[in-house]
C-alpha cells in the first residue's frame, strides 16, 4: 500500500484539525487526565516508528526513523510522568500534629 505525499499531508492536516477541535472542547478539569492517558496510549507511535525503521535506508531515512522513535518514547514517558504527578495531587496530606508550633 503506497500513499502519495499529497494524500499523506492531507491526512496529517485533517488529523491536526480534528484533534485540535476535540481537545479544545474538553473542560479544563478533564484536560490533564485525558491528555496523560492519550500520551501513554501513544505507544503505538513507537511501534510504528520501529516498523518504519526496519524499512529505512540511507542516512536521511535512518535519521528520521531515529527522531520518530525518540519523540515517540518522549511522548510515552511524558504521559506517564504527567499521570504520576496528577495522581500525587489526589493523595491525602498527612494531618498536622496537635501541639506543633504552627
Q: Tell me the pLDDT tens digit for each residue of 13-38.
A: 999 999 889 878 888 777 777 777 77
Position 94 scores a pLDDT of 75
Give CA angle at 34 (31, 35), nearest 5°.
80
Q: HSE, CB side, 13 Å, CA atoms: give it for residue 82.
A: 16
pLDDT of the residue at 81:
84
Each residue's pLDDT tens digit, 55-88: 888 899 899 889 989 988 888 888 888 778 877 8
Residue 60 to residue 58: CA distance in whole angstroms: 6
Is residue 1 pLDDT above 70, yes or no? no
Q: Structural domain boundaries of the chain?
A: 44-89
**Which residues lie below 8 Å from residue 80, measured CB to CB, with a gap of 6+?**
36, 39, 40
Amino acid at each position: 500500500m503506497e500513499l502519495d505525499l499529497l494524500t499523506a499531508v492531507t491526512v496529517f492536516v485533517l488529523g491536526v484539525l480534528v484533534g485540535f477541535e476535540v481537545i479544545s472542547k474538553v473542560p479544563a478539569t478533564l484536560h490533564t487526565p485525558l491528555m496523560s492517558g492519550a500520551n501513554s496510549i501513544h505507544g503505538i507511535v513507537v511501534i510504528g516508528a520501529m516498523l518504519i525503521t526496519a524499512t529505512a535506508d540511507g542516512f536521511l531515512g535512518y535519521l528520521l526513523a531515529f527522531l520518530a522513535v525518540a519523540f515517540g518514547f518522549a511522548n510515552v514517558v511524558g504521559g506517564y510522568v504527567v499521570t504520576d504527578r496528577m495522581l500525587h495531587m489526589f493523595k491525602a496530606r498527612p494531618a498536622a500534629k496537635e501541639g506543633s508550633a504552627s
